[in-house]
Amino acid sequence: MNTFPNLPGWDGIHPAMVQFPIVLLFVAPLFLLVSLFSPRAWRTWAGASLLLMVLGAFTAWLAVATGHAGGQLVDKTPALEQAIARHEALGLLMRNVFTGLAVVFAVLMLLSAALKKPLPGGARISLHALFLVVYLGCTLAIANTAARGGFLVHKLGVQAMIEQAGAQGTVTARTPER
């Protein structure tokens, strides 16, 4: 007897996959904030933040791909099709924005490491603080994207294709009760 549940396929793993970029991209600015107040260990904290940003961007690519695969299986009404399209557009935007932010921060870190004379602490802190403000603004858009996904699941009844007890599940969408 197998005590572990079967892993869903590529088109059914989106609900689990989206958790990774959300968590990684929300934790990354905390490490960057710590780096602002750690003059001796700022590179370590900023490097850890960059690592989380890169992992978050990578998993955002996976989340978008799995969401697209799962979305192809949904029986769509016009209202549901519009809601899925909006969520997918926001997912694509977030994937691209956070990929860009990770690249920008990587360039900031590489420039800082390449300079023979490091930036004065105030200039570095100002640059990183400005980046942090922009980044935190973008995290609000992640929350909006996640809320749209929650709306699809909890209000419109979209379910992932997950195999249960040896039978293939289906992706369904029920119309919301009025």
Please answer whether residues 84 and 171 qualify as being in contact, where contact means their C-beta atoms are separated by less than 8 angstroms.
no
Residue 42 is encoded by which pair of tokens? Answer: 């700022």
CA distance to 61, 108, 119, 143, per residue, from 116 (Å): 36, 14, 9, 40
Band (9; pLDDT cuts 50, 70, 90): confident
- Summarised one tens digit per residue, pLDDT across range 49-60 is 999 999 999 999
Place of tokens 């924005």: 97
What per-residue confidence (pLDDT) applies to 163? 54
Sign (positive or negative) of CA dihedral 111, 112, 114, 119: positive
Would you state the structure tokens that stand for residue 43, as one six-digit string? Answer: 């590179």
Nearest to 64 by CA among 130, 20, 113, 114: 20
Indicate the pTM of the whole model. Answer: 0.81
Cβ(25)–Cβ(98) under 8 Å? yes
Looking at residue 57, its pLDDT comes to 97
Task: Please say whether the beta carbons of 102 and 54 come within 8 A.
Answer: yes
